[in-house]
Structure 1
Amino acid sequence: MSSKNLDVLNALDSARTQLYHFKAIVIAGMGFFTDASDLFCISTVSKLLGRRYYFDPTSNKPGKLPHIVKNFGYWSGLGCPRAVMGTLCFFRFWLGFGIGGDYPLSATIMSEYANKRTRGAFLAAVFAMQGVDPIFSTEPEADYVRRIVLMLGALPALLTYYWRMKMPETARYTALIEVNAKQAAADMGRVLDVEIQAEQEKLAQFKAANDYKLLSTEFFQCHGLHLIGTMTTWFLLDIAFYNQNLTQKGIFPTMGLTSSASAVSALGEMFETARAMFIIALLGTFPGYWFTVFFIEKIGRFYIQLVGFLMMSIFMLIIGVKYDYLNTKEHKWYFATLYGSTFFFANFGPNSTTFVLPAELFLTRVRSTCHALSAASGKAGAMISAFGVQNYTQDGDVNKIKKAMMFLAFTNMLGFCCTFLVTETKGKSLEEISGEDAGKSEAEMTHKPPTYRPEASWE
């Protein structure tokens, strides 16, 4: 039974772009806004925590977090700083638990609601909400500020919970997995202007033809290479990407974007760090996300990911080789340009596409699970970055930093190579991509770069 004979899938794939599609972007994207708030505010919060709880009166220098505490591997203890850090670790664990669940759900919801012409752009737009995190800086007591900044992250989480509870299940899941055509038609009729016929018998035949599970020979024959590809590329990306974010505040003084800690107050340091992060986001991170949104349906996921990994590798290699030259006040703008370019090509590249591809490559039954496995692999890479690369370079030794940057350039080249394990997905229905449509998966075809062809314009 081909999906081309199923009205429910044809209606979703050919539906014109409607207001609810953009509403779904916002609802699904709010989870990523929360994730961004957590990821990017922690740099400024950690500086305030260091000043507040780790001041050394003998040296009369501003305090800073010990490295193991900075990476939040410090759980035990009842003393004041230990209790604070332990509490923060506890709640960040549950934040990670929630965000970890949100990654695959947001991706799957958007991929299954969107039509096939705009699916990649809409998925990229959901992920681009990571780049719309506001910066707050005020001048009351520093301890109150870090509490307020952390508490503000609860607002998008609450909004996400409320809107998600009011969002119906996707028609693909209801029809293909629950085999309830009538409910799928009713749900889509509530939110989209599409007509869907109840085709119970056809749906039952379609499910029977594609009813294999994740741990099965059929899955590994059809999608084993795809899963290896999405997991390895996300893993390798996050080794470099999280290192970029964790090292920002240490690189800003070299670029002249922040003053030395001893020259400013705690809130002054927080304000300067937030301002520097805003500049990097405005010139590198934010444009990269939205370049992906606007070009993903023209260039395709495959080429964007290849070019992104390649350019990140080149820029990091240059930084590593020429670090002595760049790490001076005289050449700070060269450094800033190279550093900002790595953020641009991370986001107009694998940081966006590693989120998009797992939401498209796999069949409906295991789409969320495979996306979750890919995302979890990425977080494993982030841990290596935090506890491996960061620990290696924590003493600021120039030779170690140069070696670390060359290592990160190498991991990006590995990501470039592993991209050839996935295939292009633009312009195709989810069932064509996954192999549910005709019983033949993309994984059974050669993994050659796809031939470029213009796509239909947005409706």
Structure 2
Amino acid sequence: MAQDQLKVLNALDVAKTQWYHFTAIVIAGMGFFTDAYDLFSISLVTKLLGRIYYTEPGATKPGSLPPNVSAAVNGVAFCGTLSGQLFFGWLGDKMGRKKVYGMTLMMMVLCSLASGLSFGSEPKGVMATLCFFRFWLGFGIGGDYPLSATIMSEYSNKKTRGAFIAAVFAMQGFGNLTGGIFALIVSAAFKAAFPAPSYATDPTASLVPQADYVWRIILMFGAIPAVMTYYWRMKMPETARYTALVANNAKQAASDMSKVLQVEIQEDQEKAAELVEKNKRQFGLFSKQFMKRHGLHLLGTASCWFLLDIAFYSNNLFQKDIFTAVGWLPKAQTMSALQEVYMVARAQTLVSLCGTVPGYWFTVAFIDILGRFFIQLMGFLFMTGFMFGLAIPYDHWTKPGNHIGFVVMYAFTFFFANFGPNATTFVVPAEIFPARLRSTCHGISAAAGKAGAIIGAFGFLYLAQSPDKTKTDAGYPPGIGVKNSLMILGGICALGFFFTFLVPEANGKSLEEMSGENEDQSEDEYQSASIDNRTVPV
């Protein structure tokens, strides 16, 4: 039988959309804006780093980062992110969401600045310090995932909770887009101030000394939005669900939310005392009862996020290499160093503008209408179709004049990733687990995703190399080629489709209904409810 809900939690569930909802979206969302900017801006400057630090005198084409260096520069932030998601996810349940929230932001600010100040007298020294600071940048970014998702879910009403959490995550799209636009502005400004010929025309003059400032400015800019958000994060009160259900202080939760909702909430002390006694008997994360109730749910959220991120980050980090392979980006030797940065940034900006950003906001618009389960299934299905649509006729796409069709198809994979599992894998773990374990379980799910991103960052770099050793870039071992790599990514998306059936539907239900925190029911009743929750309106 369901217990009566605490008044403060019921008030949050039924609250009309108010100004504080939008304030919370902006405060939490600016963290994700910064996350995306910091994670993906490195892909804009890796070619420039290769030109600056690895061009041999007298070489017939500009230098590129060695395989191990390129993999480290692109992937080390994800290693930090994975660690941060696990650590800060756990800490958010132990210390409270608000106390940890400021720590992650300050790490992002300091390490963004430090990344741009990477130093060393030799290329290895510069790359080593860059990787060191990007690891800790990723560590701070990792904490933002479970904390932002959990805070937004616990502040939201149950009618539009999915849209609010998805809106926080959608700020990633703007961060990605801003990275491309800012790189366009910086590279265009430096190109105009310090014009240079193409590498083929004059190898020595094609790289002006001022180019070393370009990648540093682009990386350091990520600190600005984080700094702007810090004050407002510290002003937010702790979430009522943490205060009432984990810290066992329903009176304080009611007082905090009375100010936020601008209504008077008087909590029933007897009911609050009953809740304290009940919470003392709650099961832990590694208990047999947790595995019975939420084990399959955690497997579903973690596996779907893992599979999605292999495909998503493989495509995102190495889109510049894919565009070069199909002929959309000119060969490096036909451009100056700054012109190449400009062309790479333009390509990323167009894909973000046409595919990435719209996909996120389609999810925001429809997640509380179609449901999380349906959108995730649909997204994985279309990603699979478009991946195979790129891979099977790959020889057709690489012919002159056909690259526009490739880019359109490629943009659709990003659209359905974001109007699909890239958004829902972030939303669902914040809704279906108990409050005392919510941040930890979201952190575990997100860390599984970053494990997939690491595989994508390190694996795709090598797999996409030509199987013909004479055609690979210097230092890269033969791979299986872009075509076969895209085939593998299509198969991974298909696996994600089937693992989605492990994930319950949370649409229109309170957080306590989904987690079972406000119910006294038998195990059979709970499992039956979890199965019913998978039904979605179509």
**Alignment TM-score, normalising by the size of structure 1:** 0.93
Are residues 448 and 205 of structure 1, via their aligned partners in 2, closer, same or farther at CA, if it must alter by over 3 Å?
Answer: closer
Contact 1:67-1:394 at 8 Å conserved across structures: no
2: CA distance, partners of 1:393 / 1:453: 40
Q: Which residue of 1 aligns with 2:231?
A: 162
When the two structures are aligned, how many residues end up with a matched partner?
453
2: CA distance, partners of 1:145 / 1:173: 44
Which segment is superposed worse, 105-114 or 206-215? Answer: 206-215
Gaps of 5+ in 2: 77-118, 191-209, 469-478
Are residues 105 and 334 of structure 1, via their aligned partners in 2, closer, same or farther at CA, if it must alter by over 3 Å?
Answer: same
* 2:109 is aligned with 1:109: no
* Mapping for residues 7-86 of structure 1, pairs under 5 Å: 7-72=7-72, 79-86=121-128
Amino acid at match of 1:406: M
Contact 1:237-1:350 at 8 Å conserved across structures: yes
Q: How far apart are residue 444 of structure 1 and its match?
A: 4.5
Contact 2:373-2:536 at 8 Å conserved across structures: no
1: CA distance, partners of 2:3 / 2:345: 50
Contact 2:371-2:505 at 8 Å conserved across structures: yes
2: CA distance, partners of 1:169 / 1:3: 24
2: CA distance, partners of 1:442 / 1:406: 40
1:328 equivalent among 385, 399, 423: 399
Q: How far apart are residue 438 of structure 1 and its match?
A: 1.5
* 2:459 is aligned with 1:388: yes
Cα-to-partner distance string for 1:313-332 (whole Å, 9 max, x where unaligned) = 11111222111111222211
Q: How far apart are residue 178 of structure 1 and its match?
A: 1.2
2: CA distance, partners of 1:325 / 1:255: 10
2: CA distance, partners of 1:3 / 1:263: 70
Cα-to-partner distance string for 1:220-249 (whole Å, 9 max, x where unaligned) = 111111000000000010110010112210
Cα-to-partner distance string for 1:270-304 (whole Å, 9 max, x where unaligned) = 11111111110111001000000000000000000
2:59 aligns to what SS in structure 1? Answer: coil
Which segment is superposed worse, 328-337 or 104-113? Answer: 328-337
Q: Which residue of 2 aligns with 1:457?
A: none
Q: Which residue of 2 aligns with 1:339?
A: 410
Contact 1:181-1:197 at 8 Å conserved across structures: no
1:61 aligns to what SS in structure 2? Answer: coil
2: CA distance, partners of 1:4 / 1:284: 45
Cα-to-partner distance string for 1:87-113 (whole Å, 9 max, x where unaligned) = 111111111111111100000000000
* Mapping for residues 45-444 of structure 1, pairs under 5 Å: 45-72=45-72, 79-133=121-175, 134=178, 135-136=181-182, 137-138=185-186, 139-140=189-190, 141-210=210-279, 211-254=282-325, 257-395=328-466, 400-440=481-521, 443-444=527-528
Q: How far apart are residue 56 of structure 1 and its match?
A: 1.7
1:407 aligns to what SS in structure 2? Answer: helix
Contact 1:222-1:444 at 8 Å conserved across structures: no
Contact 2:43-2:318 at 8 Å conserved across structures: no
Contact 1:421-1:447 at 8 Å conserved across structures: no
2: CA distance, partners of 1:305 / 1:341: 15
2: CA distance, partners of 1:88 / 1:128: 28
Amino acid at match of 1:439: D
Amino acid at match of 1:143: D
Gaps of 5+ in 1: 455-459
RMSD of aligned alpha carbons = 2.1
Which segment is superposed worse, 317-326 or 220-229? Answer: 317-326
Q: How far apart are residue 399 of structure 1 and its match?
A: 5.0
2: CA distance, partners of 1:199 / 1:91: 50
2: CA distance, partners of 1:262 / 1:381: 33
Which segment is superposed worse, 104-113 or 329-338? Answer: 329-338
2: CA distance, partners of 1:372 / 1:207: 26
1: CA distance, partners of 2:460 / 2:533: 33
